[in-house]
Structure 1
Amino acid sequence: MKPVSFPSDLNGYAEPFALAPTAGRPGLRLLGAVATAAAAIGVVLPLWPTTPFALLAAWAFARSSPRLEAWLRSHPRFGPAIRAWTERRAIPRKAKLVAAGSLPASWAGLWLGDVPIVGLAAAGAVLLAVGAWILSRPH
């Protein structure tokens, strides 16, 4: 059976996609539900990321349940970040500010945890690269 595909204007992605095979949909729905729960935790906990989990949930729901994807994309808290990413590959200003504060805080936690200098240097390089990439995205 040929998979059902949707026009890109229905899902906001630049390319059309097909639903996962029927056998894989429950796993993708579970992944979407867990990622949505993790995003909800990020709303409450200041250093827990929200946007990456919301994007993961949108990706999983887009391939398993158009109804759940539509719910997530229209959600007042998660929807704007998901739409900004899928339409313009943009990261909201607030998410950038949180990242700009949490990346150095993460490195400071490693430093306070007495991580060897090689680990500090490697983590610093990765965190710096991630921060530069995040800040380079449009908002």
Structure 2
Amino acid sequence: MSIPPRPIRPLWVIVGFVLSGLGFVGLILPGFPGTVWFVLAAAAFARGDPRWEAWLLSRPVVGQLVDDYRSGRGMPLRAKWFACVCIVLAVGLSLGRIPVLVGQVAWMMLGVLGVVYIVWRVPTKRG
């Protein structure tokens, strides 16, 4: 990943902190994934300031999550189940709030694609 010009780097650091904040919220709130935000935050920090990326990766839980993703080890089976159940619940509980049928179908398809992606494309971490 190439480092952007110097004036843009602080923006990447700000984006990294916002994404990190969402990731930490995801560690606390059930049903709100944290890993994806940390992976994106690490990428943003890498573009903005590698010292912040190193700081994020040195966090006890976060560093392992990002490392597992980057190395292709994937997610534990329990986490995959949890993610899929959360997608199904989120889509099911919010479907009635979408006023038009086309939007409901699109929302359902997005949920199905999310589950399919997790089941078939995300590797299952062993051990």
Aligned residues: 123
User: In the alignment, what sits opposite 2:12?
Assistant: 28
Structure 1 segment 38-117 matched on structure 2, within 5 A: 38-88=22-72, 90-113=74-97, 115-117=99-101
Q: 1:94 to 1:71 in 2, by over 3 A?
A: farther
Q: Secondary structure at the match of 1:77?
A: helix
8 A Cα contact 2:95 2:107, kept in partner: no
Higher Cα Rg: structure 1 or 2? 1
Q: Return 5+ residue gaps in structure 2 as ranges.
A: none
Question: Aligned partners of 1:89, 1:115: CA distance in 2, in Å?
Answer: 40
Output the amino acid matched with 1:121: V
Q: Secondary structure at the match of 1:18?
A: coil
1:80-134 residue CA offsets vs partner (Å, 9 max, x unmatched): 1211111116234444233111111112122343644332222111111111111
Higher helix share: 2
TM-score (norm 2): 0.85
8 A Cα contact 1:29 1:65, kept in partner: yes
C-alpha root-mean-square deviation of aligned residues, in Å? 1.8
Q: Return 5+ residue gaps in structure 1 as ranges.
A: 1-16
TM-score (norm 1): 0.79
Q: 1:84 to 1:35 in 2, by over 3 A?
A: same
Please list every run of at least 4 consecutive aligned residues from structure 1 whose deviation after the TM superposition is greater than 4 angstroms.
none
Name the % identity: 29
Output the amino acid matched with 2:107: A
1:47-75 residue CA offsets vs partner (Å, 9 max, x unmatched): 22201110110000111111111121221
